[in-house]
């Protein structure tokens, strides 16, 4: 019984994986000189228009709370790229049956998968120096995504992802 509780707890913890974010940036860029931003005009984000609006709303909130101003002629362009993929469950419970006597033994074993397929979303955020047309900062996040949620749940999801993405922006020089 104790093992069954441990296995169930392990499955719950594994299924609640958080968002992982990797960062990269140009060390030569002076991030203190950037005061304004806007979105790349010809962005091909891979998101639905509804989800893109949610991501932009969260980004506006974060950047404006840090003193950046959305402008028609910005210092920075923000670009989003998204991709989704499914991952099969790696968790299973093993079952075995065996028996024998003397020098003869028989055994049968198998595994029963736990959980279904998990949908992951990779979201890449690029910040481009508008004057130099050069990428100066990039974050790539990977997180589990629940496709069967209501609009508020999706907004909450994207808000949390964007908060994690911009957690280390601007980088400390």
Report pLDDT for 129: 96
User: Is the predicted pLDDT of residue 14 greater than 70, yes or no?
Assistant: no
Q: Residue 73: which residues within 8 A CB-CB, separation 6 or more?
A: 36, 130
Residues 90-140: tens digit of each pLDDT: 556 666 666 666 666 666 666 666 656 677 889 999 999 999 999 999 999
User: Is the predicted pLDDT of residue 5 greater than 60, yes or no?
Assistant: no
- Banded model confidence at residue 9, pLDDT cuts 50, 70, 90: very low
Q: Which residue has the higher pLDDT, 55 or 114?
A: 55
Report pLDDT for 8: 40
Residue 77, beta-bridge partner list: 38, 128
Residues 62-101: tens digit of each pLDDT: 999 999 999 999 999 999 999 877 766 555 666 666 666 6
Residues 19-49: tens digit of each pLDDT: 899 999 999 999 999 999 999 988 899 999 9
| DSSP secondary structure code for residue 34 in this structure | -
The CA–CA distances, whole Å, from 41 to 21, 73, 140, 165 equal: 25, 12, 21, 21
For the chain, domains (ranges, CATH) are 36-86+117-168 (3.30.160.670)
Q: Which of 122, 151, 107 shows the shortest CA–CA distance to 47? A: 122
H or E stretch at 78? strand 76-87
CA dihedral for 131, 133, 134, 136, sign (positive or negative): positive
Compute the 3-state secondary structure of the chain and give helix, strand, coil in percent, each to the nearest 5. 30, 40, 30
Report pLDDT for 52: 95
Instruction: Give the global pTM.
Output: 0.72
Six-digit token pair at 146? 């629940």
Report pLDDT for 12: 40
Report pLDDT for 73: 96
CB 135 within 8 A of CB 155: no
């Amino acid at each position: 019984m104790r093992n069954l509780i441990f296995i169930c707890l392990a499955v719950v913890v594994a299924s609640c994986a958080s968002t992982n974010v990797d960062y990269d940036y140009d060390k030569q860029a002076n991030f203190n000189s950037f005061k304004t931003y806007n979105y790349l005009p010809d962005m091909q984000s891979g998101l639905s228009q509804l989800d893109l609006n949610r991501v932009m709303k969260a980004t506006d909130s974060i950047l404006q709370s840090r003193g950046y101003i959305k402008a028609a002629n910005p210092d920075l362009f923000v670009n989003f790229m998204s991709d989704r993929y499914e991952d099969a469950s790696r968790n299973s419970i093993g079952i075995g049956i065996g028996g024998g006597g003397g020098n003869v033994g028989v055994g049968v074993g198998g595994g029963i998968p736990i959980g279904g397929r998990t949908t992951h979303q990779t979201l890449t955020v690029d910040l481009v120096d508008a004057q130099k047309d050069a990428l100066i900062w990039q974050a790539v996040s990977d997180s589990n995504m629940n496709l069967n949620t209501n609009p508020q749940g999706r907004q909450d999801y994207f808000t949390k992802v964007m908060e994690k993405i911009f957690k280390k922006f601007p980088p400390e020089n």
